[in-house]
Amino acid sequence: MKNYTLVLLALAFMTIVQFTITSCQYKNEEEFFCDTSNVTYSVTITKILQDNCYRCHGKASNSKSGGIILEDYNVLKTFAADGRFYGNAAHLPNYIPMPFDGGMLTDCQIRQIKNWVDKGYPQN
């Protein structure tokens, strides 16, 4: 009986240590649950755009956009193909950091964009 108790305590301790080490690698819950394997234009990318980009680069934004309307897939595809979509979102050198009006996308969102671009920016 004593041995079973020690084994259970050891397993519980190892589980707590493993969870603590794993969870410390992520900034928040979103990063822990970041899905980069099922990235689609229709769900993942448009959600990122709606939450962060359309206020300036949407059809209703007019003068803020600099003429760049990302609600049009073909426009977004052009920016994805030449590297600007990922470069701007990731704040890479020699790109215009976006969103322009402050902040940065989460690491998860940036990885999702990279995944989508690397897969050839499908309209799925």
- Provide the pLDDT for residue 22: 45
For residue 54, pLDDT over 80 is answered with: yes
61 and 122 housed in the same domain: yes
18 and 44 housed in the same domain: no
28 and 55 housed in the same domain: no
Which domain range does residue 20 map to? 1-33
Q: Pick the residue with more confidence: 68 or 21? A: 68
**Percent share of the chain, pLDDT over 70:** 71
Check residue 64 and report its DSSP letter: G
Is the bond into 99 cis (omega within 30 degrees of 0)?
yes
123 and 66 housed in the same domain: yes
12 and 52 housed in the same domain: no
Exposure on the CB side of residue 14, measured as CA atoms within 13 A:
6
For residue 26, pLDDT over 90 is answered with: no
| Dist. CA 122–CA 73, nearest whole Å | 10
121 and 72 housed in the same domain: yes
For residue 103, pLDDT over 60 is answered with: yes
Q: What is the mean pLDDT of residues 10-35?
A: 57
Angle, vertex CA 120, rays to CA 69 and CA 112, nearest 5 = 75
Confidence category of residue 33, pLDDT binned at 50, 70, 90: confident
Confidence category of residue 6, pLDDT binned at 50, 70, 90: low
Is pTM beyond 0.85? Reply is no
64 and 100 housed in the same domain: yes
28 and 85 housed in the same domain: no
- Provide the pLDDT for residue 41: 96
71 and 40 housed in the same domain: yes
Structural domains in the chain (count): 2
Query: Please, what is the end-to-end C-alpha distance for the chain in angstroms?
Result: 57
27 and 58 housed in the same domain: no
